[in-house]
Amino acid sequence: MPRGSQERRAAIVRLATTSGPASVEELSERFGVTASTIRRDLAQLESAGHLARTYGGAMPLDPHQESSLRQRSGEAHAAKHAIAAWAARQVRPGETVLLDSGTTTGALAHALRDARDLTVATTGLTVLQELVSADGVHVECLGGTLRHVSQGFVGALTEAALSRMTFDRVFLGADGVTAEQGICEADLQQTRLKELMAQRAEHVYLLVHAAKLGRRPFHAWAQLPERWTLVTDAEADPAAIAPFLTRGVDVVVADA
């Protein structure tokens, strides 16, 4: 493990480049230093042009390269599980819920494995993998065209299957989210599908860890309905949350 500040900062850049956005909490735990030390490291790295800072963490300078699911599975682990645990507590017996593709929704599926009298529909392989042995959960796969990078289904077949169902709750993921424009993704098929998913559910939740708040790495957007709930983690900067509150979004900060 790098001990000197220069070695540590070089390792932070490598981690952000290979694994995507990393939170202050993750970096602090990984390198065995305080959060304030990590913040000083990030400030110096940003000043030197080695990476870009986000609310609560850091990301590589080229944000337009979509991270693979494998890369994303290593980021914000504690935050994702805190978010997933809160989301799982909202689900009631007898409900039919829709889970988006992604690592946070995969964590939610893991938290729902012991549920009974529950129907889960999904577009994501991570969710299917978590629920494959969950005998008490009825699973519906909304198949279609597989996006290998995100391990989720999109396209006309997915949308056709979606049109045949309604849901009590939908849990969405995102590459980024802003209060003004909604969900940011790499692909227009993704954003169209997320809008349709939100339209089919009574309650809409967006599950994103703190580094994704205010982030706009791509140019495809999905609008969210008038009423929805943003679920993030305790690393979220109040300044990043404020625009959502101003627009009347329900915001939940899940504490690990």
CATH number, span 72-254: 3.40.50.1360
CATH number, span 5-62: 1.10.10.10
Rg of the chain (C-alpha set): 18
Whether the CB-CB separation of 176 and 156 falls below 8 Å is answered with no
State the Cα torsion 64-42-182-224 to the nearest 10°. 120
pLDDT band at 217 (very low <50, low <70, confident <90, very high): confident
Q: Is the pLDDT of residue 53 over 80?
A: no
Domain definitions of the chain by residue range: 5-62, 72-254
Model pLDDT for residues 155-213, shown as the tens digit of each residue: 999 999 999 999 999 999 999 999 999 999 999 999 999 999 999 999 999 999 998 99
Model pLDDT for residues 78-134, shown as the tens digit of each residue: 999 999 999 999 999 999 999 999 999 999 999 999 999 999 999 999 999 999 999
Q: Can you give the pLDDT at residue 196?
A: 98
Q: Alpha carbon of 255 to those of 80, 81, 172, 176, 220: distances in Å?
A: 10, 10, 19, 20, 30
Note the pTM of the prediction, 2 decimals.
0.76
DSSP annotation of 217 reads -
pLDDT band at 18 (very low <50, low <70, confident <90, very high): low
Model pLDDT for residues 115-130, shown as the tens digit of each residue: 999 999 999 999 999 9
Q: Is the pLDDT of residue 20 over 70?
A: no
